[in-house]
Structure 1
Amino acid sequence: MRRIKEEYDIVIIGAGLGGLLCGYVLAEEGKSVCILEKNAQIGGNLQTFKRDQVKFDSGVHYIGGLDKGQALYPFFKYFNLLDNVDKELLDKDAYDVISFGSEDILYPHGQGYENFVQQLIKYFPEEEAGLRKYCEEIRRICKEFEWYNLYKDYEETDEMSTFSLSAKEVIASCTDNEKLRKVLAGSNLLYAGEGDSSPFYIHALILDSYIGSAYKLKHSDQISKQLRKDLKKMGGQIFINSEVVKIENTTKQVQHVVLADGQQIRGKLFISNLHPTLTFRLLNTEGLRKVNVNRMLQLGNTASSFILYIKLKPETFRFTNSNRYHFIDEDVWSSHHYDSDNWLKALAIFNSRPDSNTQYAHTLTAMAYMNYEDVKKWENSFNTTLRESERSKEYLRFKQKKAEELIRALSRVYPGFSSCIESYYTATPLTQRDYIGSIEGGLYGIKKDYRAPVKSFISANTKLDNLFLTGQNVVLHGVLGVTISAMVTCQFILGKKYMLDKLKAYV
């Protein structure tokens, strides 16, 4: 086994996607790179796990913008991922479907802007103008982001006005039809959408990538495995089971990090892929600006979730090449607000099959919002691969109760569904906290608010000369957002023009 050296050019804390991508870029530039991961598996939300001889994706279920000319294509080309990741195109006419209550109608989101419009006109024949306005609003906003449009020459824009638009209000401005408004906002579980705060730019960037092209990955850990393989070839080192417990710093720069076993690792530059709040908890903040420290320690976070991972009995549940967002409560913007008697308001449902030759799914994953307060009483217990511990029987009973409630809800969506289940496994906000490292199990990191965009803006460049941030909190969550975040981080080290020119070669 390779030993950790005492000093590197680049020390990266956390082997989530952002840390791996930064490591790749900088190792390719000839830097000595060390990535430190506290858990046994790398990849963050790309992690998978195996239960009952079936593999489940923990977080990433589909990705968008992968075709030539689209946002993610040049990045996947540069990172040697495009031809090394097995993927399957989701239904072109309905990559996502939106449904409500006991209605039988499945409202489709189609791939390709014209197709997107045409598929929904079938259900809203009087709303063509509104649908086209909605598509134009998405494209207009997406044009404002340089890293999202590498094929264009970038011009300076008034970015704050872009960040200050409400997703709910922009959608409402496109149509007076209440049902269509709900359908257009129906996949907002992708960003934990809230009517009183969610910015339109997040909605636009995510939807644009999927409308461009939407792919289901065979397994999400293909990405992290390929990056690890190539990093190793370039001399980069990744160390699992290596938790950073302290960042030693002066008021000017970081000197070294300290691992749980007491080992000290020095570096010229340091990149933290951790949540910014977790990063600042590791720092010596004495002498740093209090207003900045307090802001980073008090960042608001998105809602968390309860997830049910189900192994299906063979040939019992027909596979659909779409993802489904089902709303039990038709208010699509407040599904995270609930009381104990009315917990389930919305479901995100993803099914997968072992190969493209079968008509039946072998797994189904269902996700519903769950607030951290529901599991807070057990927050002092931890359970990871490295720190296995049995949580209380009360916690296990809580999980079983919630799983049974979710299965009953799924059986109303798919009559007879409970008879298709062979086994199931659960994840709560505590699971996501322990394995992903998110504050209170937050689904998508820091909560963005169009009313105060600067408040939730996190720069990759910190006040310490040699400490940088990366990951889903810097730009945007998801594979595309974190990839762009890594490029933004690296631009502070290698230069913006250099990085843009480098990536444009792959457009």
Structure 2
Amino acid sequence: MSQIDAHYDHAIIGSGISGLLCAAYLAKKGKKVIVLEKNHQIGGCLQVFSRDKKIFDTGVHYVGSLGKGQPLRHLFDFIGIGDLLKYQRLDMDGFDRIYFEDEQVEYKFGQGWDNFISGLSKYFPEESENLLLLLEEINRIVSLFGPYHLKELEENSVTIEILSLSAYEVISSFITSERLIAVLWGNSILYAGNKAKTPFYVFALILNSYVEGSYRLIHGGSQISKYLSMIIHDNGGLVRKYAEVTSIEIKEGKVDKVIVDQNISVNVSTCIAAIHPACVIGLLPEYSLRPSYVSRVKELQNTPAFISVYFSLKENALPYFNYNTYILKNNDAAMHPDGHFDDNWPTNMMISTGCEEHDQQYANTINVLAYCDVKIFKKWESTFNTTARHQERGQDYDQLKEELINKIAKKVASKISGFEDMYFAAYCSTPLTYRDFLNVPDGTGYGVEKDYNNALFTFISPKMKIPNLLMTGQNTDLHGVYGASISALLTLKHTSEGKLIFEEINEFLNN
């Protein structure tokens, strides 16, 4: 068995944003760091792809809290990439627009809480005071989560009672209009919102980040991974692609080696796994973890799977729109992540345009995100297809994708008149695509599902029984660019180098 190098201080498995942030920080601390990525492209959901000389974003539709003076921008400034990123602020008076098929009204979410409340009050004047009361509760909950303000989590601030608050029950305790409740859930596809499970803190933190500031990344999210990779390399670290980790060797109760492609060993002092917990368990020897922990991880429910359809638009066919549109069949569709494939599918979908420049006049691409039941792809569950390991799934699979694309196009045309004549090509990522590229069970969109009914059971700690093995990413906190970035900080807190990371960030900001 050959070796990549004699020894690394830190090996990071997976190059999603949380893994890259951990690696960049540790490399800047002077540590010898290697990032191991199985794909041909780094970044996880930050990846982009090119078709028809157009760039398509695979997972980052827009980002919250990225403006000057906002937490995510502060974090990126701290790590050294803030001034390098190119992005555009979405429509201040309607960055998200909620549209129900049974009503010809477009409900707009404004940026800034005053703007958000006054905007919705125009549609629901009788709920104006109730919206202000709901905002007070949102602010109360958000203030308890210190890391989302780049501060230490205060002891006993986030209790089991806070984690066990139901989003639906809290919202409906303030709001009386069923339509307004559904509107507030209108962009819930961003967090796989489920009336029966979603905790209020998930709703509050995610909505707050986007109301605080919503931004579209110019030319896609891959610029984040590109610049983080530069930071890693400039500080002596290594990002290695086509390096699939096949096992983790344990010696005397600690990680000793990481095995790549079954025949290359990497000696490490600490290993950080930026992949799904179930996949981490699959890399470890059976004896290394308590059976109860393994059983618990295997029993965890994951968030639903998605399908993404990417449209290449004809030149000057569709004016660029600087916002996201959500098409919902009815109130119920806003609060239930239903991917059941029938004549009504999809009942909940998001439409966003690709951004190539500031003040863009016409859209060149459109991306549509919708829930899609992974069961309809059961026939191909034993196949595997990525750029690194290409395998055709067959003509019948392509035919199913074409059927899904046509259904999506028809639904888009219900909102954008004449849409069928505006595009000349369409491409489709299925749950199997997400599964294979991102190494997630069943193509889950956002990893382990948070459930207010059993909040502690669905909580995954970055710290494991194996003392030099840590986890990071959407499963240890929230998903998305913002959530996964905060998860990296919480993971770094468990390293000797990063135990004072929040103090470091605030000293940096104060100076």
Q: TM-score per shorter chain, which class?
A: over 0.9
Amino acid at match of 1:289: R
Return the alpha-carbon distance in structure 2 between the equivalents of residues 341 and 309 of structure 1. Answer: 21
Q: Counterpart in 2 of 1:270?
A: 271
Q: 2:484 aligns with which of 482, 494, 497?
A: 482
Q: Counterpart in 2 of 1:293?
A: 294
Amino acid at match of 1:479: V
SS at match of 1:505: helix
Q: Counterpart in 1 of 2:422?
A: 420
Q: Counterpart in 2 of 1:244?
A: 245
Determine if the alignment matches structure 1 residue 362 to structure 2 residue 364: yes
Return the alpha-carbon distance in structure 1 between the equivalents of residues 342 and 267 of structure 2. Answer: 49
Q: Counterpart in 2 of 1:393?
A: 395
| Superposed displacement of residue 164, structure 1 | 0.5
Q: Counterpart in 2 of 1:234?
A: 235
| Superposed displacement of residue 261, structure 1 | 4.8
- Pairing 1:367-378 to 2, within 5 Å after superposition: 367-378=369-380
Amino acid at match of 1:233: D
Higher alpha-carbon deviation: 491-500 or 177-186: 491-500
Q: Counterpart in 2 of 1:42?
A: 42
| Superposed displacement of residue 498, structure 1 | 1.1
| Superposed displacement of residue 112, structure 1 | 0.6
Structure 1 contact 281–297 (Cα < 8 Å) conserved: no
- Pairing 1:128-277 to 2, within 5 Å after superposition: 128-150=128-150, 154=154, 156-218=156-218, 219-250=220-251, 252-277=253-278
Structure 1 contact 251–288 (Cα < 8 Å) conserved: no
Q: Counterpart in 2 of 1:8?
A: 8
Relative to structure 1, the CA distance from residue 153 to residue 192 in structure 2 (aligned partners, 3 Å threshold; closer, same or farther) is closer
- Pairing 1:379-390 to 2, within 5 Å after superposition: 379-390=381-392
Q: Counterpart in 2 of 1:450?
A: 452
Relative to structure 1, the CA distance from residue 335 to residue 268 in structure 2 (aligned partners, 3 Å threshold; closer, same or farther) is closer
SS at match of 1:308: strand
Amino acid at match of 1:401: E
Structure 1 contact 74–506 (Cα < 8 Å) conserved: no
In structure 2, stretches of 5+ residues that fail to align are none
Structure 2 contact 302–448 (Cα < 8 Å) conserved: yes
Structure 1 contact 329–335 (Cα < 8 Å) conserved: no
SS at match of 1:455: coil
Q: Counterpart in 1 of 2:311?
A: 310
Q: Counterpart in 2 of 1:59?
A: 59
**Normalised TM-score (structure 1):** 0.96
Q: Counterpart in 2 of 1:465?
A: 467
Return the alpha-carbon distance in structure 2 between the equivalents of residues 252 and 23 of structure 1. Answer: 24
Q: Counterpart in 2 of 1:407?
A: 409
Relative to structure 1, the CA distance from residue 287 to residue 486 in structure 2 (aligned partners, 3 Å threshold; closer, same or farther) is closer
| Superposed displacement of residue 155, structure 1 | 5.5
Higher alpha-carbon deviation: 391-400 or 334-343: 334-343
| Superposed displacement of residue 418, structure 1 | 0.5
Q: Counterpart in 2 of 1:25?
A: 25
Q: Counterpart in 1 of 2:349?
A: 347
Q: Counterpart in 1 of 2:496?
A: 494
Higher alpha-carbon deviation: 289-298 or 426-435: 289-298
Amino acid at match of 2:19: G
| Superposed displacement of residue 65, structure 1 | 0.9
| C-alpha RMSD over aligned residues | 1.6
Return the alpha-carbon distance in structure 2 between the equivalents of residues 139 and 329 of structure 1. Answer: 28
State the aligned residue count.
505
Structure 1 contact 18–485 (Cα < 8 Å) conserved: yes
Return the alpha-carbon distance in structure 1 between the equivalents of residues 413 and 280 of structure 2. Answer: 43
